[in-house]
Amino acid sequence: MARQHKKTDFPVHQVRRYLEPGPIVLVSSRRRDKTNIMTLGWHTMLEFSPSLVGCMISGGNHSHRMIHDSGECVINLPTTALTDTVVGIGNTSGAEVDKFREFGLTAEPAQEVQAPLIRECHASFECRLHDDALVDRYNFFIFEVVKAHVASVPKHPKTLHYTGDGVFITAGGVVDRKSLFRPGML
């Protein structure tokens, strides 16, 4: 059973701290009385403030329409403790399975959106759809992170990074080069 992290508020303009390294994330959504979760690796930071994140959510995913219709989702950050859950969620469809129940995850109410947070994740970022200009052409959603919740420990969560073919790499060591940065670049 994964630990249920105690989370505190985190500045939305600093979510790059967790998303830029490219972790697999779990995207939770709600439309009317149905929730769903999908596994996603194709995302990028786009802007600090407003805090914008772009996500490629394939049209084949049950979550695609739920997120497009509701205009909301939560991007949750799992760690290696949830490896098999991440794989299980990525290999089942919300059209057939209630993923919170199937994978023993806890849906918590968000503050700014209807989509639920996943309590067992290290961080949860509440998102509103900001721009759907590229959804039809590339399934590319641009979200604004409107509220962020992050566990204070561990400082460097052991995230999962997908490489395809069923193989992940995990977050390894920490390399601090702050002393080599120009102040304006930090």
Number of residues that bind a copy of itself (CB under 8 A): 60
Instruction: Name 41's Cβ contacts closer than 8 Å, sequence gap at least 6.
Output: 22, 24, 25, 161, 162
* CA–CA gap between residue 161 and residue 178 (Å, rounded): 24
Shortest separation between residue 50's beta carbon and a copy of itself, angstroms: 11
Contact flag: residue 116 with a copy of itself (CB under 8 A):
no
Q: How far from the centroid of its chain's Cα atoms is residue 35's Cα?
A: 15
Contact stretch for a copy of itself (CB under 8 A) within 17-25, 29-37, 96-104, 121-129 = 17-25
Q: Which of 31, 71, 88, 97 binds a copy of itself (CB under 8 A)?
A: 88
Contact flag: residue 18 with a copy of itself (CB under 8 A):
yes
Nearest to 173 by CA among 186, 158, 153, 154: 158
By beta-carbon proximity to a copy of itself, the closer residue of 108 and 131 is: 131
Contact flag: residue 153 with a copy of itself (CB under 8 A):
no
Q: Which of 11, 49, 101, 138 binds a copy of itself (CB under 8 A)?
A: 138
Contact flag: residue 87 with a copy of itself (CB under 8 A):
yes
Long-range contacts of 32-36 (CB under 8 A, 24+ apart): 34/66, 34/94, 35/98, 35/99, 35/100, 35/107, 35/115, 35/116, 36/62, 36/63, 36/66, 36/94, 36/99
Interface positions with a copy of itself (CB under 8 A): 14, 16-18, 20-23, 41-47, 52, 54-56, 80, 83-84, 87-88, 90-91, 131, 133-134, 137-138, 140, 142, 156, 158, 160-182, 185-186
